[in-house]
Structure 1
Amino acid sequence: MSYFFELVSNSADSLIRVLSGLSMAIVYGICLGLLRSSLPMKVKSNLVFNFILESPKYPPPIAWIPFVILLMGIGEWSAITIVFIGAFPPIFTSCYEGIERLPKNLFDISKSFELSKTERLIRIRLMWALPTLFTGVRIGAGMGWMSVIAAEMISGQSGLGYSIQLNRLNLQFEYMIYDMISIGSIGYVIAKFLAWLEKKIIAWEDSELKC
């Protein structure tokens, strides 16, 4: 029974870290995606500029763990930062690419309405990008969940990743199985929740496809 309470506590710790890192990744991903889409075409097509923005997303999040530990030490914020590193790239990229797919004639038509530049950016461009953005959020959530487990295994003091390492050292194989089941179950619930949320927020996409 005591292990059950530990499992619940560790699951809650991991989930809180993921939600914190994912929330930050969504906010920064959307803001920077909007900002990037607003840049002049000359800048957006610059190879050096694109290399600087795109290349950091290719190292896996686990490769950043030693750097994060050196800079931030071992603690909550280091684990949340690793989640952010894993979740941010797909959200940022999907937001930007979704906005860039907006037909130019549609955006030109929107200029005839009495909307400010900021309103056009949010109400036209961001709304158009929502389906692609949600794909990035789902991918980012999955990457963030895997990242926090890896971070906890290496430098955690609580959480499911830490629990797996502790049970490995204590040769408690059955508890490791429970940890793995919890990791898979929570990941599945997160994915299903985001899919449900996507249908609720952008229900108009399904209705358009049916027409």
Structure 2
Amino acid sequence: MAAEPTAIAAGGRLEAAPTSRPLARRAKPTLADPAPRWRRAVDALLPWLLPATLLVLWTVGAAQGWISPQVLPSPQFVGETLRDLATSGDLWLHVSASLQRVLVGFAAGALLGLLLGAAMGLSRRFEAYVLPTFNALVQIPVLGWLPFVLLLVGIGEPLKYILIAKAAMVPVALNTLQGFRQTPTALREVGQACGYSRRQQVLEIVLPHAIPTLFTGLRLGFTKAWLSLVVVELVASSEGLGYLIVYGRQLFQLDLVMAAVIVVGAIGYAIDRLLDAVERAAHRRRPGAAR
């Protein structure tokens, strides 16, 4: 029969005497469970399954002659065209022109969107005056604004900057408005009880809770800006990735068109992943987020 635990004096403190029943010890893991590693590997490979399948179908279709090479050139031919563009320097010329346009237009549109969204988020009266008209104007696509802006500024670079900025401004402004309005009312009341000024409430209470939503708006804004860049360069440009697509179509060089499309998709995807990482970091730093 196991002995009952008794209290003994040890250094002025009462401690339970050890019982005769040995305590069960947890077995130390010797080898890591391979199942989570396999799951992580499968999860990492799943997004590439569809692109790999399309590439295989493209390769087999080109080799078997399912589609005419004049309509859909082989991946090898497109790869050679892409390599020639890179070695000649033409690829960097068009990429740098497109990146300059999208960065300038996105910066201008994001700044306007942040200011407009913050103004609507901080003033109900300003929102009542501006938001209905804003919602009506944003329904007009980029190409719908092209003739009007073309009459105002001509066919030069300002045309592209304005249209890209307009595309980026819309999601940034709407997400900024949402971010400024999602602060818990209890925190606002605590700030008022502590004597916070209007500026302190915005900087120390409203803005920290709005930052993740702001990053979401910036990410969506850049996506819209990148799509609008290609559309604008398709219509009015003498350099850039969009112009490269139009140039290849006019010469009926589908390998050049496919190479430019691949570059557009790769750059857009890379920048989107970068913004996604920044957005996830902002969510982790949000007040009250699980750590």
Relative to the length of structure 1, the TM-score reads 0.89
Count of aligned pairs? 207
Tell me the amino acid that sits aligned with residue 186 of structure 2: N
Please, which of 86, 89, 108 is the counterpart of residue 170 of structure 2? Answer: 89
Identity of aligned residues (%): 27
5+ residue gaps, structure 2: 1-82
Cα displacement string for residues 97-144 of structure 1 (whole angstroms, at most 9, x for unaligned residues): 111111222112123446442232233222211111111111111110
Q: What is the rounded CA distance, in whole Å, between the counterparts of 1:119 and 1:29 in structure 2?
A: 22
Match of 2:138 among 57, 65, 83: 57
Q: Is the 8 A contact 2:121 2:177 kept in 1?
A: yes
1:195 aligns with 2:279: no
Give the TM-score normalised by the residue count of structure 2.
0.66
Out of 24, 27, 31, which is 2:111 matched to?
Answer: 27
Contact 1:34–1:126, Cα closer than 8 Å, also in 2: no
**Higher helix fraction: Structure 1 or Structure 2?**
1
Distance, in Å, in 2 between the alignment partners of 1:207 and 1:110 is 17
What residue is the counterpart of 2:18 in the other structure? Answer: none
Gap change, CA 1:74 and 1:2, over 3 Å in 2: farther
Map of 2:102 onto structure 1: 18
Alignment of 1:9 onto 2:93: yes
- Aligned-partner SS, 1:209: coil
Question: Is 1:75 paired with 2:146?
Answer: no
Name the counterpart of 2:45: none
Q: Which has the greater radius of gyration?
A: 2
Q: Deviations over 1:146-201 (max 9, x none)?
A: 10110011011211111111111111110111100011001101101111222344
Query: In 2, distance between residues paired with 1:135 and 1:62?
Result: 25
Q: 2:226: which partner in 1?
A: 145
Give 1:206 shift. 9.6
Which blocks of at least 5 consecutive residues in structure 1 are unaligned? none
CA-based RMSD: 2.1
Deviates further, 173-182 or 54-63: 54-63
